[in-house]
Chains A and B, each alone.
Chain A
Amino acid sequence: MNDIAIHVDRVSKCFKIGSGTEYARLTEALAGNIKSATQALWRKTASQVTPVFNADQKAHEKPIDTRRDGNTFWALRDIDFRVQSGEAIGIVGGNGAGKSTLLKILSRIVSPTSGRVGVRGRVGCLLEVGTGFHPELTGRENVFLNGTILGMSRREIRRRFDEIVSFAEVETFIDTPVKRYSNGMIIRLGFSVAAHFEPEVFIIDEVLGVGDAAFQAKSLAKAKEFRDQGRTVMLVSHYMPSVIEFATRAILIQEGHIVADGDPTQIVDMHLQRDSNDH
C-alpha cells in the first residue's frame, strides 16, 4: 500500500501518576532505588501472600478506573488505524479522552509506550504558534528561528519570506526586536510562519489552540486550504460543526480507546449522544 500517509500501529501510552515514582532529584532517585531494593528483599523474605490484582474484576465494579492500573494511567490503549494520503480526519472525544496525547505522539513530541507510528513525509503541527520566539531577536530573525524549528529549510523560508511578512502585516516592524511587538503582532507572525510551512501531513489542535475566535477561524481556514490541496490533514476539535464541515472521516476516542471510525456526521451524533448520557 503506497498511499498510506499515517499508520498508527497498536499504540499505547501510559503515564505514571502520583509522587511515589517520580523523582526530581538524582540523589532521591538513587535513594529510591536503594529503598525499593530493600523493600523487594523484605517482601521476598516475608511469607505474606500479596493479593493478586484483578483488573477486569475491578473494572466491572468501578468503570471509571479502567484506565488506572496501580500507579500507571493508560492515556491511550491499542490505538490502531491507517490514514490514506489526502484524507481529512476529525478526531472527536470528551475531555481527557486522549486526543491530545495522540496528536503529540503523531507529531513525535512524545513517544508511545508500546506500538509504533509511521508517517510519510514531514508533519506540521499547529499546536501553538510562535514556538521558540525570542524577545531579543528581530521579527526577521524569529521567522527564521521559528521556521527551522517547525521543520522548514532556510531556503524555503527565504523564498516565502515576503509572503510570510505581508500575511502577518508586520512589514514596518520586521527588523524590530519582537519584545516591542504587541501580542496580536506576535501571534500573527507566528501563525503566518506556521501557515506557510507546507508539510505532507498537517495536524491542528483546536482544543489547545491559542488565541481568539478569529484565530481559530483562521487556522480552520488554513486546514481547509491544505485539505483542498490534497494534503493529509488531521483536526482535533471540541466544536462539532467544524468537524462535520471539515472532515471526510472521523474517529471517536473514549477513555483511550477508539470507539468508532467512519462518517463524520454519524460519529458526531454518536459522540453527542454518549456525552449527554454521561450528564
Chain B
Amino acid sequence: MPLPLNYYDSSGIWSWAKLVELWRFRELLYTFFSRDITIRYRQVLIGVAWVLIQPALSMLIFVSLFGLLETRATADGSQYASDAAVVFLGVWCWQFFASALRDGTGVLVNYRHVITKVYFPRILLPMSSVLCALFDFVVGGLILVPILWITNCTVVWSQIWAIPILVAWLVLLCVACVAWFSSLNAAYRDVGYALPFLLQIGMYLSPAVYDASRIPERWSTLYQANPMASIITWFRWSLLGGPAPSAIATLAAIGLTALLLISGLAWFERSERLMADRI
C-alpha cells in the first residue's frame, strides 16, 4: 500500500490525525521516560530510597508539628485513621502533582536543542515528566504499608477499587497543568520562577498536610471543587474510610479537570507551531 501524502500547515487544531500521530510516536514517549528514570537512578546513589524518604520525611515533620501544637490533622471528633496515615496520603499525592509540574514546566526549555533540530509531537516531553513522577509515586507508595502497620490502621478493602480511577484522574490533572505550564514557560520564562510559589499556595489550599474535615462546612463544597482537594479526599475515603466529598463538589472538580485538560491541550497545540521559533 502506498503511503499517504500527509499535509500539514499552520492551523493548530486537535484532530484524529494528531491522535494517530501520537500513537505512532508512543515508543518515543517510552524512550523519554526510560531515559529520565535511568539518569535519575544512576546518578543518585540511594536512588529508590530517596523516593521513599521524601514523602515519609515530610509526613514526619508535619505530624511532629501537629504534636507540638497539641492538635491533629483531622478535626476534633472525626478521626478515622492515624495522623501518620492521613498526612502521608495527602503528602504522597501532592508530591506527585508537584514534581510532575516542576519537571514538566522546564522540560521544553531544557530540550530546546532537540526541539530546534527534529520534529516529534512536543507534548511527549511534558508527558514523560508526568510518567516519571508517576513512577516515583508508585515506588513511594510502598512505604504506606509499614506506616499503616505501625500505626495500626485498617484498610477499607471494600473501597479499594477506586484507587486506579483516582490515579488516572490525578495523571490527567497533571497532564492538563503541565500542558499549560510547559508551553507558557517556553514563551515566557518567568512562569518557571512563579511556579514554586504557586505550588506552595496550592499545597495549603489542598488537604495535603491536614485533613479536609478541618475546613468549615459552609466552605467545603467550594474547597472540594479544587481537583487536588477532591482527589486527596477521595484517596483517604478509598483507603482509610474517611468522609467522601459531596457529589456536587466532585462533579465540579471533574468538570474543572476536563476544562483544564481540553484547554491545556488546545493551547499547547497552538503554541507548538511557534515553539521552535520562539524557544
Interface residues of A (CB under 8 A from B): 2, 4, 7, 9, 15, 22-29, 104, 107-121, 123, 125, 127-128, 131-132, 134, 136-137, 141, 144-145, 148-151, 153-154, 200
Contacts and interface: CB of A to CB of B under 8 A. Distances in A.
Interface in B173-189: 184, 187-189
A157 to B, nearest CB: 10
Nearest to A147: B31
Nearest to A144: B31
B158 interface: no
B111 interface: yes
Given A136-B43, A148-B28, A111 B4 contact: no
A118 B5 contact: yes
B10 A112 contact: yes
Given A118-B8, A119-B6, A123-B119, 13 more contacts: A9-B7, A24-B188, A24-B189, A26-B184, A27-B188, A28-B188, A29-B188, A109-B118, A117-B9, A125-B117, A131-B118, A150-B118, A151-B118
B9 A116 contact: yes
B39 interface: yes
A26 B188 contact: yes
A125 B118 contact: yes
Contacts of B39: 134, 136-137
Contacts of A127: 117-118
A111 B272 CA distance: 9
A194 B28 CA distance: 16
B3 A116 contact: no
B144 interface: no
Contacts of A153: 27
B261 to A, nearest CB: 21
B73 to A, nearest CB: 36
B190 A26 contact: yes
A123 B117 CA distance: 13
Given A7-B5, A145-B31, A109 B111 contact: no
Contacts of B118: 107, 109, 125, 127, 131-132, 149-151
Nearest to B42: A136
Given A24-B188, A25-B188, A111-B273, A132 B8 contact: no
Interface in B123-169: none
Contact of A111 (B6, B8, B188): B8
Contacts of A134: 35, 39
Interface in B59-110: none
A120 B5 contact: yes
Interface string B33-48: 0010011001100000
A105 to B, nearest CB: 10
B120 interface: yes
5 contacts: A110-B277, A118-B5, A120-B2, A125-B117, A141-B35
Interface of B: 2-10, 27-28, 31, 35, 38-39, 42-43, 111, 113-120, 184, 187-191, 273-274, 276-278
Contacts of A120: 2-6
Given A108-B8, A200-B3, A137 B35 contact: yes
Nearest to B119: A108
A115 B10 CA distance: 8
Closest 4 CB pairs of A and B: A116-B9, A26-B188, A108-B119, A118-B7
B119 A107 contact: yes
A28 B187 CA distance: 12
Contacts of A25: 188-190
Which residue of A7, A28, A111, A114 has the most chain B CB atoms within 10 A of its CB atom?
Answer: A111
A145 B5 contact: no
A149 B29 CA distance: 10
B5 A149 contact: no
Nearest to B31: A148
A26 B191 contact: yes
A131 B114 contact: yes
Nearest to B9: A116
Nearest to B193: A25
A117 B10 CA distance: 10
Contacts of A111: 8-10, 273-274
A49 B113 CA distance: 46
A137 B190 contact: no
B125 to A, nearest CB: 11
Contacts of B190: 24-27
A96 to B, nearest CB: 16
Contacts of A22: 278
Contacts of B187: 23, 26, 29
A132 B9 contact: no
B2 A2 contact: yes
Contacts of B189: 24-25
Nearest to A131: B117
A109 B276 contact: yes
